[in-house]
Amino acid sequence: MSARPRAAIVVTGSELVRGERTDRNGPFYAREALSLGLTPERILIVGDDPADLEAVLRSASDADVCLVSGGLGPTHDDRTVELVARVAGAALRVDPGLEEHIEGVSRAIADRLRRPYADFAAGVTKQATVPDGAVVVGIAGTAPGLVLQGERCVYVVMPGPPGELRRLWPAAVASKPFQSVLARTSPPGRKVLRFYGASESAVAQALAQAGGDGGGVEATICARDFEIHVDLVVEPGAEERADAVANALREPLRRYLFTEDERSVAELVLELCRARGYTLATAESCTGGLVAARLTDVPGASDVVAGGVVAYANHVKARELGVPEELIAEHGAVSAEVAAAMAAGVRRQLGVDVGIAVTGVAGPDGGTEEKPVGLVYHHVSAPDGEHGHHFSLPADRDTIRSRATVAALHLARRVLTRSRHEDV
Amino acid sequence: MSARPRAAIVVTGSELVRGERTDRNGPFYAREALSLGLTPERILIVGDDPADLEAVLRSASDADVCLVSGGLGPTHDDRTVELVARVAGAALRVDPGLEEHIEGVSRAIADRLRRPYADFAAGVTKQATVPDGAVVVGIAGTAPGLVLQGERCVYVVMPGPPGELRRLWPAAVASKPFQSVLARTSPPGRKVLRFYGASESAVAQALAQAGGDGGGVEATICARDFEIHVDLVVEPGAEERADAVANALREPLRRYLFTEDERSVAELVLELCRARGYTLATAESCTGGLVAARLTDVPGASDVVAGGVVAYANHVKARELGVPEELIAEHGAVSAEVAAAMAAGVRRQLGVDVGIAVTGVAGPDGGTEEKPVGLVYHHVSAPDGEHGHHFSLPADRDTIRSRATVAALHLARRVLTRSRHEDV
C-alpha cells in the first residue's frame, strides 16, 4: 500500500453519468494528483441527485484529498458546495465580498441578455454561500472555486467546465490546506518509454523479466494504435531499480523504442523536419485529413507543414496529385504503387521536401477478398529516401483510420530518423 | 427517486484511474443502460489494487445491476472475476469446456509468438475459473465475458478493451439474469432536440418556462462548440408532458433547431448533398484537415466527398486553390475575401458542386490586434448561393479548431437548407 496521500476524485454531472459526454476532469485531476506526489485511488462520476452525490462524497472522504468538480452553478440543482459542507461538518455562510463580486458579474450578464436582475438575485446569494473556513481560490464566471480543510480530508471544489477547472487549479494547488497535504509527500520520479510496432505481450514479458512492479517502481502499460506506452512511477530511493527496469525494457525492444518522453509522434516528425529545414505535406485517402490534422494539432506546425491533399475520390488523386489513371486502373487505388505516386505527387504539387501518403480500405463497406477492410498502404517520400509499408488488420472504421494515421506518422519518423548519421 | 432498476458501473484499469487514458466504457455502459430502461447512478473508476476494487464492487452491489469492465486477463493483477465472486458470495470453479477452448487459443498464440505453452498454462486455468452459476456469454481472445446473478444484484463482467466489450455486450443483454431485470422495466421514450447558435441560457430559460424537469420528463442540456443538445427521457404516461416541453423549446428557438434526432451535422450535410446529387470538397487552413476528417468519419461519405485541400501555407492557397496573391496581400490570409476565394477555388479545382472553406487564427501564436487569436472566417460556395460567416472568440487552440470545424459544417447545412423549397 502506498504511503503517499490518497486522492479520491468526485465528478458530478447528469450528462456524464448518463454517458452523453465523456468526462475529462477525472483524468485531469488524476494526472495532476500523480505528478504532485498523491495517489489517485478512484474516480467517481455521479449525477445531480443530492442523495447520490452526498453518498459518494462521504465514501470519498476517507481519502486525504477529495477533488470535486461540477454542480457550482446558481440553480437549485447545483448542490455541491452545500453537500461538501455537510459532509465536512462545516456551517455555511454568505461571504459579503464574494456576493458583491458575483452580483456585479450577474448584473452585466442580465444587461447583455436584456433580462431583469431579479431573475438572477437568488442565484447570486446561493453562489456566494460558502463553507466556514473555505478558501476561495478564484471565480469562473459567477462560480467560486474553493478549498476546504475537513476533519481528515482536504476538499478541492472546482467548476465543471474543463477549461475553467484548469484555470482555477493552480490557485487551488497553491492554497494553504492543499500545500499542507503536499508537504507530506514529494513528486515521484517518472520514466517514460514508448514503443511502436512491438506486441503488448513482448513488452509485458520484458517487464516481467525485469522483476515487474514492486521495490518502489510501479509500471503501467498502455497500448493503442500500435503504440505501447510504458510509464514508471518511481518512489524516492528506488531510482536504481527504476534504471534497471528501464534498461531491461530497452534491451530486447530497442528497435521499437521511439521516445523516452511524452512527445507525440507528430511532434517528433515536426522536430525531425525542422532540424533539417524540411517542409512537409500529406496526401490522404481513407484517413480523410486526420494525418494533416494531427500534425497541425501541434502549435507552431506552420513552419514545417505546408498543407495537404485529401484525395478521397480517384479523380482527385489523378488531378491534384498527378497519379496516372492507368496506375490506379492497374493496381487499384489501395496499393503500394498508388501510395508511392501520391507521396511523390504531393511533394511536387505543394513544393515540399517530404510527402506522406496513406491509402486504404477503412470500411465497413468497400472491402474485397483481394483488398479487404483494414488493408492500408503508406508511403513516405523524402530527400532521405523512399519507403513504403502496409498493414492489413480487420477492425471498425474508426480504429482503422486511427491506426492508419499513427502508422503514417511513424513511417515518416523512421524514414527521417534512419538517415541521420548521429546515433539515435 | 426513479422506480427504474438502478445500474452502478465499475471500470477497472490503472491507466484509467491515473488519468493516462480517458475511460470510454463507463459512458458506453451508461448510454446502453439508459436506453434499456435502467437508471445509471454512478460510474466508478478504480485501479488494480484488489482492496480498492473489492470496496468499490461492494458499494456498487446495492444497485440492481452492476456493470463491470476490465481486469479479465491471465495475469495475477487481473482480479475482477475472483472479487466479483467474493462480493456476490459465489464459489469459484474451473469450467472444463471453457478451459479447453482457452487452451486452444493460447496454444495458437504461443506458436505465433514462438514461446513455450508452459508460459501460458497458469493463465489459461485462471481465465477458465468462473463463479458458480455464472453464464459465459462470449469470449474475447482468452477472456470470458460473464453474467452472474448475485443475491440482489446482477453482475455483468466484460473485458476492458472497448471494442471487445461492445462485441460481447449484446449477448450479455440477452442473458437470462439480465433479461429478468429488464422484465421489470421498459425502455423510456426519448426526445432529442439539437440547436446551433443559441445561447445556453436561452435554452435553459425556455426549458424553465416549460416547467423544467419533472412530471415524468427528465431533461439534460449539453453544450459544446456552439451546439446545444437537449435530451428528454420520458417515463411511460408522460408523453403529453414531453410533447409540451418539446413544443415550448421549439417555439422560441425555431431558427436554431437543426435536428430532432442524433444525426451529426456532418451526416446532415452529406444527406443534403446526396439528395441533390451534389459533390463536395473542403478548403481548410487553421482546421488543418478536421472538416474533411469529420465528413469522412461518416461511412458512405465517398459518394459525396471528393476530397479537400489543406492550405496551411499561403503559397498552397495560391497554387492549389487559385487564391490570388494580391488578395492575400491586401486582406490577409484570415479574411472573408480569402475564405470566399478558397471555397470557389476548391470547387473549381476538384470539380465539385459545393466548396466549404475555413481560415482563421487558431493560436496560441499568430494573433494581432486586428486579427486576434480566435478569429475565424468561413465561406460556403454552392449552386444554391454563396455565404460567408465569421466568429471571434478567444480560446485555446483545440477549442478554436473544434469550433471552427463545427461552424463550417453548420454554415454548409444552412446554405443547403435555405435553398430547399420545402419547409424544413
Give B-chain residues touching A59 at CB under 8 angstroms: 59
pTM: 0.89
Residue (of A303, A366, A402, A283) closest to B289 by Cα position:
A283
Q: How far out from the chain centre does Cα B121 lie?
A: 39
Measured between CA atoms, the residue of chain A closest to residue B53 is: A42
The three cell numbers of residue B147 are 453474467
Spatial separation of the C-alpha atoms in residues B274 and B278, rounded to whole Å: 6
Spatial separation of the C-alpha atoms in residues B404 and B379, rounded to whole Å: 11
Q: How many other C-beta atoms lie within 10 A of the C-beta of residue B149?
A: 20
Spatial separation of the C-alpha atoms in residues A177 and A157, rounded to whole Å: 13
Spatial separation of the C-alpha atoms in residues A309 and A342, rounded to whole Å: 9
Q: Do A288 and B297 touch (CB under 8 A)?
A: yes
Asked if A8 contacts A67 with a C-beta cutoff of 8 angstroms, the reply is: yes
Type of residue at B57: L
Domain spans in chain B, listed from the N-terminal domain onward: 6-182, 189-259, 265-417
Measured between CA atoms, the residue of chain A closest to residue B296 is: A288
List the helix and strand counts (H, then E) for chain A. 16, 17
The dihedral sign for the CA sequence B137, B139, B140, B146:
positive
pLDDT at A419: 58
pLDDT at B419: 57
Give A-chain residues touching B286 at CB under 8 angstroms: 296
Residue (of B359, B360, B294) closest to B323 by Cα position:
B359
CATH fold, domain B265-417, is: Maf protein (3.90.950)
> Which residue of A20, A163, A316 is in closest CB contact with B231?
A20
> Which residue of B41, B51, B201 is in closest CB contact with A52?
B41
Give A-chain residues touching B292 at CB under 8 angstroms: 288-289, 310, 312
Give B-chain residues touching A365 at CB under 8 angstroms: 299-300
pLDDT beyond 80 at A128: yes
Q: H or E element: which one contains B55?
A: helix B50-60
Give B214's DSSP letter: B
Spatial separation of the C-alpha atoms in residues B282 and A337, rounded to whole Å: 26
The three cell numbers of residue B373 are 487569436
The three cell numbers of residue B215 are 412530471
Give B303's DSSP letter: G
Give B192's DSSP letter: E
pLDDT in tens, A207-248: 988 888 888 998 988 888 899 999 999 998 999 999 999 999
Type of residue at A266: A
Q: H or E element: which one contains B199?
A: none
Q: Which residue, chain included where needed, has cell 480487420?
A: A394
pLDDT at A133: 95
List the helix and strand counts (H, then E) for chain B. 16, 17
> Which residue of B45, B115, B301 is in closest CB contact with A42?
B45
d(CA A298, nearest CA chain B) in Å:
9
State the average pLDDT over residues A279-298: 97
Q: Return the CATH number of B189-259, one of 3.40.50.300, 1.20.120.330, 3.30.2130.30, 3.30.70.2860.
A: 3.30.70.2860
Q: What ipTM score was computed for the predicted complex, to two decimals?
A: 0.88
Max CA pair span of chain B: 79
Task: Select from A1, A10, A17 the residue whose CB has the most chain B CBs within 10 Å, as the one to mutate to test that interface.
Answer: A17
pLDDT in tens, A312-321: 999 999 999 9
Residue (of B379, B384, B404) closest to B317 by Cα position:
B379
Residue A303 φ then ψ, to 5°: -80, -5
The three cell numbers of residue B97 are 469446456
Pairing of strands A154-158, A143-149: antiparallel
Spatial separation of the C-alpha atoms in residues A60 and B45, rounded to whole Å: 12
Q: In 3-state terms, chain A is what percent helix, strand and coil (to 5)?
A: 45, 25, 30
Give A-chain residues touching B307 at CB under 8 angstroms: 309-313, 316, 320
pLDDT beyond 70 at A121: yes
Report the share of chain A in percent with pLDDT over 90: 85
Spatial separation of the C-alpha atoms in residues B265 and A414, rounded to whole Å: 38
d(CA A20, nearest CA chain B) in Å:
7
Q: What is the residue-level pLDDT of chain B in tens, covering all 424 positions? A: 357 999 999 999 999 999 989 999 999 999 999 999 999 999 999 998 999 999 999 999 999 999 999 999 988 889 999 999 999 999 999 999 999 999 999 999 899 888 899 988 999 999 999 999 999 999 998 999 999 999 999 999 999 999 899 999 999 999 999 999 999 999 999 999 999 999 888 898 899 888 888 889 989 888 888 999 999 999 989 999 999 999 999 999 999 999 999 999 999 999 999 999 999 999 999 999 999 999 999 999 999 999 999 999 999 999 999 999 999 999 999 999 999 999 999 999 999 999 999 999 999 999 999 999 999 999 999 998 899 999 999 988 999 999 999 999 999 999 999 754 433 3
Q: Do A282 and B289 touch (CB under 8 A)?
A: yes
Asked if A358 contacts A348 with a C-beta cutoff of 8 angstroms, the reply is: no
Give B-chain residues touching A164 at CB under 8 angstroms: none
The dihedral sign for the CA sequence A91, A97, A100, A102:
negative
Residue B31: half-sphere exposure toward Cβ, Cα within 13 Å: 11
Among the residue ranges A56-70, A365-379, B80-94, B210-224, the one predicted with the least confidence is: B210-224
Spatial separation of the C-alpha atoms in residues A267 and A297, rounded to whole Å: 9
Q: Do B307 and A312 touch (CB under 8 A)?
A: yes
The three cell numbers of residue B184 are 421489470
* Cα angle: A57, vertex A37, A297; to 5 degrees: 90
Residue (of A59, A60, A57, A65) closest to A7 by Cα position:
A65
Spatial separation of the C-alpha atoms in residues A389 and A229, rounded to whole Å: 22
Q: Do B43 and A45 touch (CB under 8 A)?
A: yes
Spatial separation of the C-alpha atoms in residues B400 and B421, rounded to whole Å: 34
CB burial class (10 A; 0-12, 13-18, 19+) of residue A282?
Answer: buried
d(CA A133, nearest CA chain B) in Å:
30
Q: What is the CA radius of gyration of chain A?
A: 27
Residue A133: half-sphere exposure toward Cβ, Cα within 13 Å: 15
CATH fold, domain A6-182, is: Molybdenum Cofactor Biosythetic Enzyme; Chain A (3.40.980)
Q: Do A22 and B20 touch (CB under 8 A)?
A: no
Q: How many residues does chain A have?
A: 424
Round the average pLDDT of chain A to a whole number and report it.
94
pLDDT at A141: 86
State the average pLDDT over residues A194-207: 90
Q: What is the CA radius of gyration of chain B?
A: 27
d(CA B47, nearest CA chain A) in Å:
7
Highest mean pLDDT pick, A112-116, A153-157, A184-188, B205-209: A153-157
pLDDT beyond 70 at A371: yes
The three cell numbers of residue A204 are 509485458
Give B-chain residues touching A52 at CB under 8 angstroms: 41-42
CB burial class (10 A; 0-12, 13-18, 19+) of residue A270?
Answer: buried
pLDDT at A424: 31
pLDDT at B201: 82
pLDDT at A423: 34
Q: How many other C-beta atoms lie within 10 A of the C-beta of residue B275?
A: 10
The three cell numbers of residue B46 are 478504480
Cα separations (Å) of A10 from A17, A20, A266, B24?
Answer: 12, 18, 33, 17
What is the number of CB-based contacts under 8 A between chain A and chain B? 271
Q: Do A299 and B365 touch (CB under 8 A)?
A: yes
Beta bridge partners of B219: B232
Give A-chain residues touching B316 at CB under 8 angstroms: 281, 306-307, 350
Q: Do A306 and B300 touch (CB under 8 A)?
A: no
Phi-psi region of B310 (alpha: psi -120 to 50; beta: other; left: phi over 0): beta
Q: Do A310 and B312 touch (CB under 8 A)?
A: no
